[in-house]
Amino acid sequence: MDLFIEQTVSGLATGAIYACLALAVVMIYQAIDHFNFAQGEMAMFSTYIAWYLMDDAGLGLPFWVAFVVCIVISFIGGAAIERIVFAPISDAPVLSHIIVFIALFSMFNSLAGFLFDFTPKNFETPFGHTPFIEGVISSHRVGMIAVTLVMLGMIYAFFRFTPIGLAMRAAAAAPESARLVGVRVGFMLALGWGLAASVGAVAGMLIAPITFLTPDMMLGTLLYGFAGAVVGGLTSPLGAVIGGFMVGILENWMGTFVVGSQLKLTVALVLIIVVLLVKPAGLLGRVVVKRV
Amino acid sequence: MASTQTSGTVPAFLNQNPKDRIFVLGVPLPLLERVGLYALLAAVVVLPMVYDGYDIYEFGKILMYMLAVLGLNLLTGFNGQFSLGHSAFFAVGAYSTAIMMEQLGMPYWTTIIPAAIVCFVAGFLFGLPALRLDGLFLALATFALAIATPQLLKYDGIAHLTGGVQGIVLDTPYPPVWVDSIVQSITGEELSVDRWKYMFTAFVAVIMFAGAWNLVHSRTGRALIAIRDNPLSAKTMGINTSIFKSAAFGVSAMYTGVAGSLFAIMDEYLAPESFTFAEAIKFLVGGVVGGIASLFGAIFGGWFVLEIPNFADLVATSLENYINNPQGLTGLIYGLFLIFTVYVMPMGAAGLAQILVHRISTKR
Amino acid sequence: MALLEIKGLKAYYGQIEALHGFDLSLEEGEITAVLGANGAGKTTTLRAICGMVKSAGSITVEGENVVGMSTEAIVAKHKIAHVPEGCGTFVRVSQEENLRLGAVTRRYREIEKDYERVYHYFPRLKERRNQQAGTLSGGEQQMLAVGRALMLRPKIMLLDEPSFGLAPIITEELFRILGQINRDEGVSMLVVEQNANLALAISKNAYLLETGNVAMTGPADQIMDDEQVRKSYLGY
C-alpha cells in the first residue's frame, strides 16, 4: 500500500510535466483547431534559447530575466511562423497542414542539434532540487505544479472572460463566420500561435531541469501531453491539466504494477486510441463546450 | 475546420477528360504512360548489368523506399487516410522477416509472403479503430504509434525474438546456385551479393508495383478513390466503406511492410533505432514530394529520400568553412523541401508532370 | 445616392466568372429582394458585397468603394451584417456568446443592452441563453443568426435564404420579424430567397437574377404581377 501511495504521489509530480504540455496542446487546438505536431520541438527550441540566454557561454542572464525574454521571443516566433508559413496555405486541405507541421518538427529538431549539439545540458531551476517532501517530491516539481496551475488560471480566464479569447475560439472553429462578424481571423491565428508557443516555452523550461536539455527531450513527453489533452478533452484547459496529472499517475501505476517501465510510451498510445474511440470529447470536453 | 478531403489539391481539369481522349504530341496518354512504364522496367533490368557494389546497393534502396512510399500513397493519396506511423509497419515487416530467418531458420526469400500477410493483418487491425477517427485524429493516433514503436521493439518481454536494443544480425542472402551458374555462363563472372540483393529487391518491387497499378485501375481502386472524394456518397452507392478503408490500411501496411522485409534482407541487420518517427517522416516526405496520389510519384519519392542526405552533404561541403556537422542539416532540408512542395507543387513531382502534360496535350 | 450601389459587378471562383457585370442598388431603409434559380449568382452577390469572393466592378457603400477591402474591415466600418446560408452558427460556444460575437467589432461596454433588444424580437432565445448553440433547432439557429446580425447595430443586413430548411410557420414568423426590424430600426435589407412569395411580400424592390445577370428589376409588386415571373418562380 505504501508503494501505491508513493507511486501515486510521484505520478502527480511527473503528471505536472504532462499537464504543462497538455495545456499548450489545448491552447493551440483552441486557437487554430489543429494539433501542432511540432509543438514539442518548438518548446524544446525555446528552451534552448532560454539556456543560451542564461548560460555563461551565452548571455549569462539571471533565470527570471531569461524566463521572460524567452517567453517574449517564443511569442514573436510563434506568431511569425503562423504569418510566414501557415497564412499562405490557410485554404489548403488538412494534409497540407499536417505536412507543414511535420516539416517544422523536422526543422526544429535538426536545427537544435546542429546549433547546440546533442550532448545533454543541465538546465537551471529557480526552485532548487531539494526535497519538498522527503523521498516523494522535490521542490522543483512543486514549483512546477504551481506554475502550471497559475498558467491554467490565466488561460482559462483568457478564453472564458475576455472578448479576444472568445473571438479567438470563434476564428478557429468557424473562420468564415468569424470573418463575417468582423473578427480579424488572421490576427487571431497569429496571436493564438504566439500564445501557444509561449505556453510551450514555459513547459519546456519547467521540464528541462528534470529531463536535461537535448533535441529529443520532447518526443516522448509530447506524446504524454497529447494523451493528457485527449483524456481531459481537447476543448478544456482544466480538463487538459487534470488529464495530464491522470496520465502521470496512470503511467506510474502501469509501470510499477502492470507492464513495467519499458512500455510507458505504449501506454500513452493505447490511452490516446481508446479515449478517442470511446469518449472523443474527453473527460471535461462536453461539459465545457456547453458552459463556456 | 478545414476540409478533410485530400482531393482538394487535384487540379479540376485532370478529372474532366477521360485519359484515352488526351493526346500528347499526337500520342494517346495511356500509351505514353505504358511506354514510360516499360522504359522504367527496362532500366530496372539493365542497371545491374552496368553497376555493382555500393552503386547497385543504392539502386536497390531506391526500389525499397519506393515500395514503402507506395504504401503510404495507396493509403493517403488514393484512400484519403493519413498516417504518420508507417515506420511501425515498416518495422513489422522487417522484424517478421528477421524473426522467421533467425528463429525458424527460413531462407530469406520465403519470408516475404508471410511477412506481407502479417503486415496486412496488422494494418487491417489498426485500420479498424482508425475508421472512427477522421483526418486529424487519425494523424494523432498514428503519430503516437510511430513514437511508441522503437520502445516497443526494445521491450524485454519480446527481446528473445527481437534482440532488444542490440537488434538482430542476419545471414547474408547469397544468390541461389542456379542463378549464379546462369549468370556465370553468360558473363563468365561470379554474381556478386550486391547485385543479387538488387535483383531480388527489384523482382519483388516490380511485382508489387504491378499489383498496385492493377489495384488502382480496378473496380476496387475506383471504390477507394470514391471513398476519398466523398465518403458519404460512396456509402450510399453501396460501397462498404468500413471494409474498404480497413482493407486499404491493410494493403498499405503490407506494401510498407514488404519494404521493411527487403530492408532487413539488404542490410543484414536491424535494430529499433531504424524504426523511429524520423523514418515515418521519410516516407511522408517521399510520398508528398513525389506526388501522394500517384504511383509514378512513389518512384521519384523513393529516389528523393535516399538522395537527401547526400544533398545535405553537398550543401555542407560547399560551405565547408562554416558548417562542421553537415548530417545535422538533413532534417532541416527535409523540412524545407516539404514546405516548398506544399506551396509550389501540392501534387508533388507527379502533379507537376501532369500539369506539363496538360499544357502540351490536345483533346479529341 | 443609394446606400449600397453596385455597378458592373463581376465575381470569380478561380478561373470561372460567376457574375457577369450587373448593376444593383439598395436604398436606405428599404428591403430589396434578390430572386433567382439555383446557380443564378444570388449568394455570390452577397459574398461579393462582403469581400468574400474575388470581384471586379464597383460596390459602393455610403459613398466608398469596398471592392478589394477585407471582409473584417467592410463589416466593421460599414456595419454590414451578413446572415449566411446555413446560419453560420458558432456551434461550440453558447448561444449568448454567439450574440456577443456579433458585436465583436463594437466596444464592450455598449453592447449590454443590445442583448435585451435581440430578446425583444426573439423571446425564445432568452430561454436558451446558456445553451450550447450547436444544440439549437434549425429555426432557433436562424433566429440566432439574425439576432447576431442585430448585435452589430447594422446599417445593412444581407440575408441569404433565411427560409432555408425551416417549417413554413417558422418562416412566416421570421419574415414578419424581419419586416418589424426593418421598420423599427431602419435597417436596410438585401434578401436572397428561393421562397419568392414571402420575400416579395416584405420587399419594396426586387431583382431577378439569371446565370450571373440581372434578368428583370422593378418594384416588388410589379415583379409579383409579372406573368413570366409568376410561372417560373411563384408557381401559380
pLDDT per residue as tens, chain C (236 positions): 788 999 999 999 888 888 898 899 999 999 999 988 888 888 999 999 999 999 999 999 988 999 989 999 999 899 999 998 888 888 878 888 899 998 888 887 788 888 888 999 998 888 888 888 888 888 888 999 999 999 999 999 999 998 888 888 889 999 999 999 999 989 999 999 888 888 888 999 999 988 888 888 889 888 888 877 777 776 66
More confident residue, C235 or B115: B115
CA distances from C124 to B140, C139, C171 (A): 41, 10, 15
Say yes or no to pLDDT of A286 above 80. no
User: Which of A245-254, A278-287, B244-253, C82-91 comes out lowest in average pLDDT?
Assistant: A278-287
What confidence tier does A145 reach under pLDDT thresholds 50, 70, 90?
confident
Say yes or no to pLDDT of A212 above 60. yes
What confidence tier does A285 reach under pLDDT thresholds 50, 70, 90?
low
| SS3 (DSSP) at C214 | strand
Grid coordinates in use for C49? 458585397
**Lateral strand order in the sheet of C188-193:** C80-83, C156-160, C188-193, C31-36, C205-210, C213-219
Could you tell me how many CB contacts below 8 A there are between chain A and chain B? 154
Q: Report pLDDT for B298.
A: 92
Question: Which among C75, C92, C132 has CB closest to A181?
Answer: C75
Question: Which among C90, C100, C102 has CB closest to A173?
Answer: C90
CA distances from A30 to A36, C54, C152 (A): 11, 29, 25
Residues of chain A neighbouring B76 (CB-CB closer than 8 A): 95
**Among A144, A158, A39, A8, residue whose Cα is nearest residue A102:** A39
Q: What is the mean predicted confidence (pLDDT) over A155-166?
A: 87
CB A117 within 8 A of CB B346: no
User: Which of A179-193, B46-60, B327-341, C1-15 comes out lowest in average pLDDT?
Assistant: B327-341
| Distance of residue B53 Cα from the nearest chain A Cα, in angstroms | 31
Q: Could you give the CA distance from residue A98 to residue B81 in angstroms, rounded to a whole number?
A: 12
User: Which of B71-85, B225-239, C13-27, C143-157 comes out lowest in average pLDDT?
Assistant: B225-239
Class of domain B6-363: mainly alpha
Residue type, B326: P
Q: Could you give the CA distance from residue C137 to residue C134 in angstroms, rounded to a whole number?
A: 8
Grid coordinates in use for B60? 536497390
| Distance of residue A1 Cα from the nearest chain B Cα, in angstroms | 26
The helix (run of H) or strand (run of E) holding residue C81 is strand C80-83
Interacting residues of C155 by C-beta distance below 8 A, sequence separation 6+:
C3, C62, C78, C79, C80, C187, C188
User: Tens of pLDDT along B130-178?
Assistant: 777 877 888 889 999 999 999 889 888 888 888 888 888 988 888 888 8
Question: A281 touching C, CB under 8 A?
Answer: no
Q: Report pLDDT for B71.
A: 94
Chains that touch B (3 or more CB pairs under 8 A): A
Say yes or no to pLDDT of A183 above 70. yes
**Among B177, B200, B178, B308, residue whose Cα is nearest residue B261:** B200
Q: Give the mean pLDDT of chain B.
A: 84
Residues of chain A neighbouring C71 (CB-CB closer than 8 A): 179-180, 182
Interface with chain B: mutation pick from A269, A271, A278, highest number of B CBs within 10 Å: A269
Provide the percentage of residues in chain A whose pLDDT is more than 90.
26
Residue type, C224: M
Beta-sheet strands, E only, within B242-356 = 269-270
Q: How many helices (H) and strands (E) does chain C have?
A: 10, 10
| SS3 (DSSP) at A34 | coil
Residues of chain A neighbouring B136 (CB-CB closer than 8 A): 34-35, 94, 98
Chain C, residues 114-133, CB within 8 A of chain A, namely 130-132
Say yes or no to pLDDT of B9 above 80. no
Say yes or no to pLDDT of B265 above 90. yes
Helix ranges, C85-219 (H):
95-102, 112-121, 123-127, 138-150, 168-185, 196-202
Provide the percentage of residues in chain A whose pLDDT is more than 70.
96
Q: Report pLDDT for B6.
A: 38
| A265:B5 CB<8 A | no
What confidence tier does B61 reach under pLDDT thresholds 50, 70, 90?
very high
Residue whose C-alpha cell reads 470514391 in the numeric block: B226
Grid coordinates in use for B93? 515487416
What confidence tier does B8 reach under pLDDT thresholds 50, 70, 90?
very low
Q: Report pLDDT for C235.
A: 64
Of all residues in chain A, the one with the smallest CA distance to B135 is A94
Interface with chain B: mutation pick from A84, A102, A235, highest number of B CBs within 10 Å: A102
| A289:C132 CB<8 A | yes
Question: Which among B144, B277, B343 has CB closest to A226?
Answer: B144
User: Tens of pLDDT along A80-92?
Assistant: 999 999 888 887 8
Burial class (CB in 10 A: 0-12, 13-18, 19+), B160: exposed
Say yes or no to pLDDT of A165 above 60. yes
Q: What is the mean predicted confidence (pLDDT) over A42-65?
A: 91
Interface ipTM: 0.85
Q: Which domains are delineated in chain C?
A: 28-53+69-234 (3.40.50.300)
Q: What is the mean predicted confidence (pLDDT) over B318-328?
A: 67
Could you tell me how many CB contacts below 8 A there are between chain A and chain C? 77
